[in-house]
Amino acid sequence: MFGRFRRGVRAGYGLLPRPLVWLVGVVGLARGVYVGLPVLREEYHYQAACLAVDREEFDAAGDHLRACLALVPGDGRPHFLAAQTARRAGQFDLAAEELRISRELGWAAVGVRAEEVMLAFQRGDFDPEAERVLRAWADADDTDPVLALEALGQGYMRTYRLGLALDYLGRWVARRPDSVAARMRRGWVFERLERWEEAEADYQHAATVRPDYRPGRLRLAQVLRVRGDLGRAVAEFERLRTETPDDPQVATGLGQAYTGLGRDEEARGHLLKAAAADPRNSLVPLELGGLAMRAGRPEEAADYFQKAIDAAPEDYQPHYQMYLCQQRLGRPDRVVVEETKFKAIAADLKLINELTQELQARPNDPDLRYRIAEIFFRRGEEAEGAVWLESVVQVRPDHAAARRKLVEYYDRTGRSAKAAAHRWVADATPAR
């Protein structure tokens, strides 16, 4: 090989002295490697990103794509794949920005438009034409429908159209039985429908396919606990704890599972550890209060229940448990306060459940969505209420009451650009 190289160099530079021929050859080779190496490295990272996306390892894909873009920032191909990866990972703002760059760099307009349609639908935009296009794609025989099924399933999840979400997620699972993303999302829907056995089956499959995927194993452990399979739940939580000893979610799950098994001292140890790691978690003081009540220490329990109320003032259980605790302590005034509060919360939750059930039959009814938003705002859960208000104006852009409430919310939370966008529409819309 080196002999052929020398002969090639001599043929090209026959008039030069041999040492100079070698020098020119080496410099030329070095320059070729220097110029070509970024392109080769970009191709390596791009292909690695493609493989990671196929395996649904979106974080790893993102790392490779960032390396691509650092090497060759003007290439539309990695920007387009970065947009698709971000969309599928739920990073919608990043996806929109990468699509904008892809379009500016001249990437295929048809591909960019298809991604924009899927991105809008997954974000919860109510565009009947986009929905029609995605459904047609999902039903087509001549193309792979998985991306459309994924976008439809997630879009329906986001807008709480759970029946439709379950349908399209089920079709996604049928096409890709080992898709961890499909199993995790369908498990989430099964949980909301309280179909715990089916949720467990999906999380178990995800954990079997990807034993290194902690979210799947954590959800499996949590569902096992809810279902009362406490021995298996403890085993799953303990395996997770050996890998990440300081994870407060794992410590909380272990505390809850050991409480269910009547192993109160072990439960208390794990819950105290969780409390130290995550003081804002309302579940932990609630569980510790329950242990104190079982041990006959209602004063201590009342302190814990108050911490749970402070962390989650609109949760039902902290107020209900405080009500029982105050009964035990013989404090009738506080009993009345807590009874009034937990009954009001129960009424709100019942109404939200009824409205969301109605929403399955009338998913594009803006007034149903507005009523749900009002409940969340009344409960102090304004971020959730704003999500529902945004869905109202997607369904009915001229819904003046929703626009004005969004203006107030975004002004109050310091998001002036969003407030201005809604104010512009609200000012041009007659009150309803």
365-432 to CATH, choices 3.40.50.300, 3.30.300.30, 1.25.40.10, 2.40.40.20: 1.25.40.10
Indicate the CATH number for domain 1-123: 1.25.40.10
Give residue-wise pLDDT tens across range 422-431. Answer: 888 887 766 5
| CATH code matching the domain that covers 281-347, chosen among 3.40.50.1820, 1.25.40.10, 2.30.42.10, 1.20.1630.10 | 1.25.40.10
Report pLDDT for 13. 33
Looking at the predicted structure, is the pLDDT value of residue 335 above 60? yes
pLDDT value for 430: 62
211-278: in CATH 3.40.50.720: no
> Is 14 a residue whose pLDDT tops 70?
no
Sole residue written with tokens 């009915």: 396
Is residue 195 predicted with pLDDT exceeding 80?
A: yes
Record the tokens describing residue 144, joined without a space: 């792979």
Q: List, for residues 218-276, the tens digit of each pLDDT value.
A: 999 999 999 999 999 999 999 999 999 999 999 999 999 999 999 999 999 999 999 99
What is the residue-averaged pLDDT of the chain? 88
Decide if pLDDT at 4 tops 50: no
Radius of gyration of the chain (CA): 29
Which run of H or of E encompasses 148? helix 146-158
User: Is there a shared CATH topology between the 1-123 domain and the 281-347 domain?
Assistant: yes
How high is the pLDDT of residue 126? 67
What CA–CA distance (Å, rounded) separates 395 from 270?
46
Residue 431 is predicted with a pLDDT of 54
201 class by beta-carbon count within 10 Å (0-12 exposed, 13-18 middle, 19+ buried): middle
Q: What is the pLDDT of residues 54-77, one digit of tens each?
A: 999 999 999 999 999 998 889 999
Position 347 pLDDT exceeds 90 = yes
The contacts of residue 1 (CB under 8 Å, 6+ apart) are none
pLDDT > 70? residue 16: no
Sorted by sequence, the CB contacts under 8 Å of residue 273 that are 6+ apart come out as 248, 251
Domain parsing of the chain, residue ranges: 1-123, 135-195, 211-278, 281-347, 365-432
Given a contact cutoff of 8 angstroms between Cβ atoms, the answer to whether 314 and 345 are in contact is: yes
